[in-house]
Amino acid sequence: MATKLVIVESPAKARTLNRILGRGYTVKASVGHVRDLPKSSLGVDIDKDFSPKYVILQGKRKIVRELKDAANKASSIYLATDPDREGEAISWHLIKAAELDRNKSPVHRVVFHEVTEEAIRKAFKKTRTIDMNLVNAQQARRILDRLVGYKLSPLLWRKVQRGLSAGRVQSVTVRMVVDREREIQSFTPEEYWSIEVELAVPQKKQTNFKAELIALLDGTKLNVHNKQEAEEITAFLEKAGYQVRSVQTKQVARHPSPSFITSTLQQEAWRKLHFTAKRTMAVAQQLYEGLPLGEEGSVGLITYMRTDSTHVASSALAEVRSFIGKKYGEHFLPSKARVFAKKVKGAQEAHEAIRPTKVIREPEGVRAFLNSDQAKLYELIWKRFVASQMSPALYDTVTMEIEAKVSKSKDGYLLKAASSSMRFPGFMTVYSEGKDESDKKEIPTSLPELEAGDRLSYIAAFPVQHFTQPPPRYTEATLIKALEQEGIGRPSTYAPILTTIQERQYVNKVDGRFHPEELGIVINNILIEHFPKIVNLEFTARMEKDLDKIAQGEQDWVATLRNFYSPFEDTLQRALVNVDKVDMTKPTDQVCPKCGRPMVMKVGRFGKFLACSGYPECKTTMPFLVKTGVPCPQCDGELVQRISKHKKVFYGCSNYPKCQFITNSKPIPQPCPQCGKLLVLYKDDEAKCVVCGYKVKLSELNINKEKVEVTS
């Protein structure tokens, strides 16, 4: 008897579906895409409405042949690839590559957002045909990226160096990193002073508290620019009298954030777990596709992880509300389910936010079946979802205004003191968000009970010098947030964007923050001058909107490509003439060990390297070593920074291979206080000895973490 053939992308997903569907079904995996544009040529016929010339990918011919044979024996075929544009395109490519449309068996498209028995059986009852609007949107993106990459890259080879490449969205992202770096480098710090005054309630012990100077008595905002001004104000405050002007008490509610979408999951996983976007998506994929949970078998633990919608199914809302009421009590349950408005333009309500497939699968209950990364990410997703439907946290806040003036004088200053104390924890019993450096600090103070008119005693003033700070460099979290706010990229592209710009050596991540490399700056300068549209944020965001319109059937994909390509081709032809050649080689003090000529530093696909200046007569190359100035703990060599074949930074002895000492942690210039050997960066503010294990705070060594740098 012929079985029904189901095709998914991954073997893990295939195993889960095979368990759920049981007898009568054969589930096979395509292992991702089976067709794409060729690597060796443009693969797009521009003169024939940008017709793509797809080829079966290397290594996929056997899979395609097996799928074709299985389809010939099947009574019906179900394409169960992922529920987004990429998944729709994979299904369409499968039909074309395996010639499923020529098969006598009917072909159905099956869409589900969670790999659970209920969702899958429901999806198989409600099949549809391929949505060509989604396919065309994916094709348009792929062809746009191919046109930019394959047309711009040869220009960069001729004008800068071979092996370089440019990407449509990646180039804009590099520009954001470069622009931020220029803001930082051009920033001029401005001096300012803050002044706090310690006050006490007369005749009451242990009532001291601090108030901050904020304005003149008439409400004019106060700006203290230098030490002289601070000293003059402090002298006034020492002889002033203090009286409470007003006391305002109120209850403030803090509401939970919605369940994760792709971008917020990547941001929060970076803040709390220090996972890169790539690592987050790889682990989320495992949780979505299904993991063996003992007697339950293979089960999908979360809903689909590429989504920009905060929508949650009504059945899931009912389940989580019941769970909250039973586990935490009715006080933690709002009167009705919380519904979050869409905040991302183009978000699809048919998609759901990222949530656990069953809220009763608490993190502790499944931890034994998961590896460390899976357990951490699942706990993050579970807690965020549960918290999103809990009561708000309630705080009692007190804000006090205090006058400081000399008797009979109308002049004086206004000070403010504030306190905040939690009355009811609400959702924070389960979860609280991680913070960016831009987030305001919590107010720690507690204030004595006072009323307007109460007099206070002066204890001391504390003037503190400050300097304005430049904007911080992007982290994974803040760069993804900026891309989303600018409308650049989509849920499926954030992680690949960040990975690509690092692999191409255009940006580098130091202590979790993105720094532009010289190569990235050079290419960015060329693109800004000669291809301003390609690296224009608004233009790139408009292209994303056009792709959304294609997906919704509101815009023609060929016309969209034509509107882009004509001016792009004109710009390209002018650039071939006008772009000056850039010499990226730099002289060094090293000489070639073979011919004695000077070595120069070059930048290749795998970063910086040394090459003989006598090329092509002498083709000697050597690795470029970044010195740390820190001695090797095992010999008389110096530790140098190296890059592994997987592009991970590590530190090894300059006498390699004679000495094979290595460490993955950044070396500290000071020796261990305990044994005098090597200290390495252990935690954000702590160093550890690699020999005796002694741990010491960086502050005790008078070291600022930001200053733990290596020098070339």
CA 230 from chain centre, in angstroms, equals 42
Contacts of 77 (CB under 8 A, 6+ apart): 4, 5, 6, 7, 71, 100, 103, 105, 106, 107, 108
Is residue 511 within 8 Å of 220, Cβ to Cβ?
no
In the chain, DSSP finds a helix count (H) and a strand count (E) of 17, 30
Q: How far apart are CA 667 and CA 665, in angstroms?
A: 6
Contacts 24+ apart (CB under 8 A), 133-137: 133/550, 133/551, 133/552, 133/553, 134/84, 134/85, 134/88, 134/89, 134/551, 135/85, 135/88, 135/89, 135/92, 136/550, 136/551, 136/557, 137/85, 137/547, 137/548, 137/550, 137/551, 137/557
Catalytic residue status for 304: yes
Of 89, 141, 204, 60, the C-alpha closest to 550 is 141
14, 33, 35, 67, 642 from 61: Cα distances, Å: 19, 12, 10, 10, 39
Plot region of 173 (φ>0 → left; ψ -120 to 50 → alpha; else → beta): alpha
- Please, what is the Cα angle at 246 between 210 and 446, to 5 degrees? 35
Q: How far apart are CA 609 and CA 350, in angstroms?
A: 50
Q: Which of 304, 431, 506, 651 is catalytic?
A: 304
Is residue 450 within 8 Å of 423, Cβ to Cβ?
no
Of 627, 617, 673, the C-alpha closest to 653 is 627
Structure tokens at 593: 């060990």
Structure tokens at 630: 């820190």
Q: Count the neighbouring beta carbons within 10 Å of the beta carbon of residue 316.
A: 22
Give CA torsion, residues 669, 670, 674, 677, to 10 deg.
Answer: 40
Contacts of 687 (CB under 8 A, 6+ apart): 668, 679, 680, 681, 695, 696, 697, 698, 701, 703
Contacts of 479 (CB under 8 A, 6+ apart): 173, 176, 177, 498, 514
Q: Positive or negative, the Cα torsion across 294, 296, 302, 304?
A: positive
Q: How far apart are CA 227 and CA 213, in angstroms?
A: 15
DSSP per position, 296-340: G-EE--BB-S--------HHHHHHHHHHHHHHT-GGGS-SS---P
Is residue 208 within 8 Å of 199, Cβ to Cβ?
yes
Is residue 355 within 8 Å of 314, Cβ to Cβ?
no
- The b-or-e profile of 389-405 (16+ CB within 10 A means b, else e) is bbbbbebeebbbbbbbb
Which residues belong to the active site?
304
